[in-house]
Structure 1
Amino acid sequence: MRWPDLPPLNTLLPFEATVRHASMTRAAQELHVTHGAVSRQIQNLEKALGTPLFERGTRVLHPTPQAHRLAAAVRDALDRLDTAAREVSRRERGGPLALSCEPTLLMRWLIPRLPDLAARVPGLTVHLSAGGGPVSFDGDTVDVALRRDDFPVPGQVSRTPLFLERIGPVCSPELAERITGARGFAGVTILHAATRPGAWDDWQRLTRRRVEGAAQQTFEHFYLALQAAVAGVGVAIGPYALVHDDLVNGQLVAPFGLMADGTGYHLLSPRPPEQDDRVALLLGWLRDQAGEL
């Protein structure tokens, strides 16, 4: 054996958990074993090392300084093993990359650009799904997620910024002439989306403009409100990424311009993108596309 002084490896997980919790009971709960199993492994470790690792009181368990030192080394080794295992398993498995994207961004920005992705990164296959808000990477159902940062992101999740959110009223060119005149929004239908009900309030707060005396219509999804704006039904708040193509081709105009609202879109992944070649390739392409915005 190359490491003759190593203690029994099966004792180290219960030991580290016991030090971290200062409790064998909580360590047993975390590891889904009995209190007795944890106690036996701690005793085996102390026997192998020839030194006590805990000061045992009536109801309190105090790790010794030596225990804290050993637990820190075990934790560092486990972190390294976890990182290496994830990296190896991802690189060797390869295959399609499962990308979750907010529905309206998926429909109006990402899907129209997929032919460019196929042409420029031919070795990458992406499986798309629509989803919003917090994402769980447990179970490998989702590899990466494209999200607006309007919710807390866990510290262990890698977050790579792509572009800032910019918003403003958008409408057909014909309606634009009406709302920039003396009557403003009077008599014009204001379009809302149930999935982002505060969009107009955000714009009014940023610009200190008031939108009053207009009819209101609410759609179930943001992309329906934007499609209604294209059709001339009324005026919607248009995030730039979601209306970029319509602004370029003249189907929509932004008569008051667009301004940053303090949020942005990020690529979320369970570990840094450089640890998975597929994610690194996707990120490079997304950054190129985001450069248009």
Structure 2
Amino acid sequence: MSWSDLPPMNSLVPFETTMRLGSLTKAAAELHVTHGAVSRQLRALEHAVGVQLFRREGRTLVPTAAAEELNRHVVDSLGQLAAAVRQARPHADTAPLVLSCEPTLMMRWLLPRMASYSDPHSATDLHLSAAGGPIDLRRAGVDVAIRRNDFHLDSSLVSQPLFAEWIGPVCTPETARELRRPADLGYAPHLVSATRPDAWETWARLSQTTLPRVTAQTFEHFYLSLEAASAGLGVAIGPYPLVKNDLDSGRLVAPLGFVEDGTAYVLLSRAGNADPRIRSLHRWLLEQGKSSVPVPAREDRTQ
């Protein structure tokens, strides 16, 4: 069998999502990637197919007839593939519990804690899937998802709280030597994530601070902005759960502390799903979340 006519396989889902939602921006939000990442995948697909798939009319992206025809086959093929995967999976009593988690939260918070997780209800594995933003659990093929509740939750989902989000500027101890008050934030570059472009403005509003004019550097993923801060390239807005380990090790410091931004991390599952493994997972995540709120901030709230 020859696969020479197949396009890049990782371009098909962004293509289907863009066709279904009619917008690069909406497709990027659903897939939790940047606008540019979706655009690059569509260009790769056009190059592979050898025909224009979209044309611009002002700010509107209009699919061509070739795109409409291709999309019908892509939807059918992806549907058949999903059905084949479901059929190939083990029976429910031995199938792993699949957990979707926002990528940076998974890398910096969940994975370092996984050694302490055990499920008394089943000997099966917990499988992890990195994704963020709005999610259709059935379509994504996952059982539960950890998300920050900064988007509308579908009524078919059950949302169980885990812990609140606290944010604050973080940097290396060397960078922090000149940072004693918000006005000092002008001396170092601000590191920005394309997936949370308003993080600095949110922190400034909650802290009742006016941000000075300063050079900003944008990274495609939130994880990269935090790694850049750890490398001494500037100051990033760090959610406490994602930087706690670095704060504990001294790799990063938070000279201005943290503020609660009004959002929270939640565990999402399908309504009516009574799988006892989900209850067990939720209890474990709640226990882990007890250390995910800044201790000084928690003490301040009780005074």
TM-score of the superposition, structure 2-length normalised? 0.63
Report the CA distance between 1:118 and its aligned residue.
4.7
Partner of 1:127: 127
Aligned to 1:93, what secondary structure does the other structure show?
coil
Partner of 1:179: 179
Contact 1:161–1:267, Cα closer than 8 Å, also in 2: yes
Count of aligned positions: 203
Aligned to 1:185, what secondary structure does the other structure show?
helix
Contact 2:170–2:254, Cα closer than 8 Å, also in 1: yes
1:225 aligns with 2:247: no
Aligned to 1:283, what secondary structure does the other structure show?
helix
User: After superposition, what is the alpha-carbon deviation per residue over 1:241-281, rounded to whole angstroms, capped at 9, x for unaligned?
Assistant: 111111111111111110101000000000366x1111112
Report the CA distance between 1:122 and its aligned residue.
8.1
Q: Relative to structure 1, is the Cα distance of residues 176 and 96 closer, same or farther in structure 2, using a 3 angstrom cutoff?
A: same
Whole-angstrom CA distance in 2 between matches of 1:108 and 1:115:
14
Q: Relative to structure 1, is the Cα distance of residues 193 and 182 closer, same or farther in structure 2, using a 3 angstrom cutoff?
A: closer
Residue identity opposite 2:125 in structure 1:
T
Report the CA distance between 1:93 and its aligned residue.
2.6
Whole-angstrom CA distance in 2 between matches of 1:183 and 1:133:
33
Whole-angstrom CA distance in 1 between matches of 2:272 and 2:163:
18
Contact 2:164–2:260, Cα closer than 8 Å, also in 1: yes
Aligned to 2:174, what secondary structure does the other structure show?
helix
1:117 aligns with 2:117: yes
CA RMSD, Structure 1 to Structure 2 (Å): 2.3
User: After superposition, what is the alpha-carbon deviation per residue over 1:148-192, rounded to whole angstroms, capped at 9, x for unaligned?
Assistant: 001000122110000000001011111112121696023311100
Partner of 2:253: 253
Q: Relative to structure 1, is the Cα distance of residues 244 and 182 closer, same or farther in structure 2, using a 3 angstrom cutoff?
A: closer
Partner of 2:191: 191
Contact 2:121–2:276, Cα closer than 8 Å, also in 1: no
1:289 aligns with 2:288: yes
Residue identity opposite 2:285 in structure 1:
L
Whole-angstrom CA distance in 2 between matches of 1:184 and 1:141:
47
1:138 aligns with 2:138: yes
1:1-293 superposed matches below 5 A: 93-118=93-118, 123-139=123-139, 141-180=141-180, 184-271=184-271, 275-293=274-292
Whole-angstrom CA distance in 1 between matches of 2:155 and 2:277:
22
Report the CA distance between 1:203 and its aligned residue.
0.4
Whole-angstrom CA distance in 1 between matches of 2:102 and 2:199:
16
Whole-angstrom CA distance in 2 between matches of 1:220 and 1:233:
16
TM-score of the superposition, structure 1-length normalised? 0.65
Q: Relative to structure 1, is the Cα distance of residues 122 and 176 closer, same or farther in structure 2, using a 3 angstrom cutoff?
A: farther
Q: Percent identity?
A: 47
Whole-angstrom CA distance in 1 between matches of 2:195 and 2:228:
15
Whole-angstrom CA distance in 2 between matches of 1:225 and 1:231:
10
Q: Relative to structure 1, is the Cα distance of residues 224 and 155 closer, same or farther in structure 2, using a 3 angstrom cutoff?
A: same
Structure 2, unaligned runs of 5 or more: 1-90, 293-303
Q: Relative to structure 1, is the Cα distance of residues 240 and 121 closer, same or farther in structure 2, using a 3 angstrom cutoff?
A: farther
Partner of 1:31: none
Contact 1:124–1:278, Cα closer than 8 Å, also in 2: no
Aligned to 2:268, what secondary structure does the other structure show?
strand
Whole-angstrom CA distance in 1 between matches of 2:154 and 2:115:
33
